[in-house]
Structure 1
Amino acid sequence: MAESSLKHLQQAANLTRIRAMSMTHHSQLGHTGGDLSSADVLTCLYLGGILAVDPARPHWEQRDRFIMSKGHCSGAFYATLAARGFFPVEQLKTFMDPLSMLNGHPDRNKLPGVEANTGPLGHGAPIAVGAALAAKMRGEHWRVFVLTGDGELQEGSNWEAAMTAHHYKLDNLTVIVDRNRIQQGDFTENTIQMDPLAPKWSSFGFAVREVDGHNHEELMQVFQSLPLEPGKPTCIIANTVKGKGVSFAENKPAWHHGVPTREQLFMAAEELGVEVPW
């Protein structure tokens, strides 16, 4: 990609980060660490031209489907949807307010661009497999992407879904793992050991690629190469840093659901090279 395009994606990702942090500060609730770690993946998918979606027609039948399985990181997801034009950016200020469209977890009945209600972990991948299978059965060419957390992979439903995806040769399905190595309360490897993770997905019949989940060039290259192998579903393990871009939050379990103070918002904005939006 051209350097100017990569710079644009970086600026957009950092704007998503500060918007998500501002939303969490406003509501005094949220999941800052995961918002920050997933911002680059979301930016490449929605603002890098990977997903075939149309904000003017959110129910367009030929759209690609994206499912935010780690629905607790709704701040980054909402900020990205707003940046893509699914709803006005000003609505981000209402995050978790009474009667707001912006629930703590995404609700497809309230917000355009949301394909599935998520939050209970381990649900997104099975839903994505069902959607990808439906496309195959109907002879449609749209694709399905699902973003999971790494701690979320402790849910057995993900592996049932993986077996099904392999059995039906769902090469229109891409599972992206936000591998930030921290879940609620502790590091993932202290909770349930996951490494080596890539061979696990390979053994379930997936074509697997590990990338730097904060390197937009790497992310765009792998997304533009899908499917990695015809006849196989894809798993992209995006190695990320929980709290990426904000020094006081990076790689700290407490920031899984940490809430920034007003002072910390301005500190984060300075490090990210953006302005506090409100």
Structure 2
Amino acid sequence: MNIIGVIGAGVMGRGLAQDLAQHGHQVLLNDISEEILADAKSSIAQNLRAQKMLGQNPKITESTDTIIARITTSTELDFMGDAHFVVENVTEKWNIKKHIYPKLDTICHKDVVFAANTSAISITKVGSLTSRPDQVLGIHFMNPVPMKHTVELIKGYHTSEKSLDVARTFLGSFGKRSVLVNDAPGFVSNRVLMLTINEAAWLVQDGVASATDVDDVFVSCFGHTMGPLATGDLIGLDTILYSVEVLYEAFNDSKYRPCPLLKKMVDAGLHGCKNGEGFFKY
């Protein structure tokens, strides 16, 4: 499994491509435009240089150019035909994801396992789009991918033990350990985390406390490395909103109702770290 397909060159796709390439994998990185792909490679190069300069990742021993050379980009899905394992990272919208898997199913070799890097969408539903639902599973990577060493490995209704073992081998090849969870909306981490971030946004909207003070309670009182609102900014408030909406739709439970302030911020383009402003400025 040396050639890895990575679909989607957003925050998560870039982080995954970097992590794979710096561990020696050949990466096939796909997105919808050449501009996005060029920006992704530039961003990965900047991250590598910064991490080496700051000593954040001592395992990076090769030059940035050597690592970047392992990443091949294309706007066409067809080059996924060479992949030994595929991770899909597109935005958390079913209307976008559902068009990708039937195409992959015809392009990729019949023994290739597909992993959906999703925080809330049903793996069983994704598997139903293919002729190989036993080879479809979820891997929920944490952000930033190169710095986070544990993932959620999600078993869909039809996912086979063989496919889970393939995924574990894949993850182990670049230093990741996994926690196996069953397929349910939000899995473990986001069923709790998205609700927490959404509720923290309600606290700001209702004037209970400022964003700074909300996060201060979690950092100072509970020893969290980051508060929920800074975490939301890091993940991307647009991704948070999409995930909360998926949970609301899946459970039909009012506790997942998206906070109006969160929706307004996303509409205003305040998505967090990725574009410079969310609950905090960057």
Q: If the length of structure 2 is used for normalisation, what is the TM-score?
A: 0.37
Whose RCO is larger (CA < 8 A, sep 6+)? 1
**Higher fraction of helix:** 2
Q: If the length of structure 1 is used for normalisation, what is the TM-score?
A: 0.37
